[in-house]
Structure formats: structure tokens, C-alpha cells
């Protein structure tokens, strides 16, 4: 499932003209780095930083599916603590790709389209409280990761704000 979620992220980024780099070692909870080149465009008179970057912890789930636009996901406490910290220079988010349990439904092909199913959600966990759990922590993701959303998030980062 890990490779499927990577393909999903790379497809979204490619559609937006963004770069995706796989981190070699998952030292501090980052699987991928997404980056824009140069300036992203005007921001209503605000000065934007060039070439913004976003760190991503990427998960894939066939067990958890969104209900009423909210995805609940059980995240290892180690990842939760890394994602909630304010002490990183590059902003980071959690992305969870939800897939159908049946592999045959995850990808379909025709001469007209290649379709990846089902949906991805993202969340910034920065500033969330510590947990007393030892193994996992349930987090809520409310924002679908649709085409254009990575660029919108990078635009926020370019304005030196947290997503």
C-alpha cells in the first residue's frame, strides 16, 4: 500500500508541476518533500518566499474510510509527536490515502483514463496536545487533498505561515 500512496501523491504533485523527493531515511517522520520552483504568483500584495517546501508523513489505509467528510486515522505516537512539534524549519503535514480493500478497485485503466481510487486527506498537527497513549493516537483529518491543494498549501508556506 505504501507504493500506491506514493503514486497518488506523485500524481497530484505532477498535475500541479511540483517536485516530489522521497526521503532516504525516515529519521524524524518525513517520508516525502514537496517543493515548488521559484515564485508561486501574487499574494494580494504580500511578499512571497521563493521555492517553498513542505514535508509530508504519508500513510495509506484500507481500514479507515471517511465518514461525513472526516477521516479518523490511528497514528503511531512517535509520528504524532513528530508532526505536532513547532520546532521544525520546514512545515510538515500528515497525508492519509484511503483505498478500497480490494486491490482490483484501487486502479482502473481504459484508453481514456487511468484512475486511482479513493481519496486522500491531510492535516497539520502542529500545536496539538501531547498524548498519554503509548502506541497509537487517533487523529481527525478534515481536508481532502485534491488537485490544486498542494499548491495552495505551498502558497501559505511561501507567506511564512503554517498550513
What is the reported pLDDT for 106? 86
Residues 53-106 pLDDT 10s: 999 999 999 988 888 989 999 999 999 999 999 999 999 999 999 998 888 888
Write the CA distances from 104 to 7, 35, 96, 159, integer angstroms.
16, 32, 20, 42
Other beta carbons within 10 Å of 129: 6
Q: Write out the three cell numbers for 12.
A: 497530484
Note the pTM of the prediction, 2 decimals. Answer: 0.91
- Please give the domain boundaries of the chain with CATH numbers for all domains: 2-158 (3.40.1350.10)
What is the reported pLDDT for 81? 95
The pLDDT-based confidence of 44 (bands split at 50, 70, 90) is: low
The CA distance from 102 to 30, in Å, is 28
Angle of CA points 20, 26, 28, to nearest 5°: 105
3-state helix, strand, coil in the chain (%, to 5): 20, 30, 45
Amino acid at each position: 500500500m505504501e507504493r500506491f500512496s506514493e503514486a497518488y501523491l506523485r500524481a497530484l504533485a505532477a498535475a500541479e508541476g511540483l517536485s516530489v523527493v522521497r526521503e532516504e531515511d525516515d529519521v524524524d517522520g518525513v517520508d516525502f518533500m514537496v517543493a515548488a520552483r521559484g515564485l508561486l504568483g501574487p499574494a494580494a500584495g504580500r511578499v512571497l518566499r521563493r521555492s517553498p517546501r513542505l514535508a509530508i508523513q504519508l500513510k495509506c489505509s484500507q481500514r479507515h474510510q471517511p465518514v461525513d467528510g472526516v477521516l479518523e486515522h490511528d497514528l503511531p505516537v512517535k509520528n504524532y509527536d513528530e508532526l505536532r512539534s513547532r520546532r521544525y524549519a520546514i512545515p510538515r503535514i500528515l497525508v492519509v490515502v484511503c483505498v478500497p480493500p480490494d486491490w482490483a478497485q484501487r486502479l482502473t485503466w481504459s484508453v481514456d483514463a487511468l484512475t486511482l481510487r479513493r481519496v486522500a486527506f491531510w492535516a497539520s498537527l502542529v500545536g496539538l496536545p501531547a498524548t498519554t497513549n503509548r502506541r497509537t493516537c487517533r487523529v481527525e483529518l478534515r481536508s481532502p487533498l485534491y488537485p490544486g491543494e498542494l499548491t495552495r498549501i505551498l502558497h501559505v508556506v511561501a507567506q511564512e505561515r503554517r498550513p
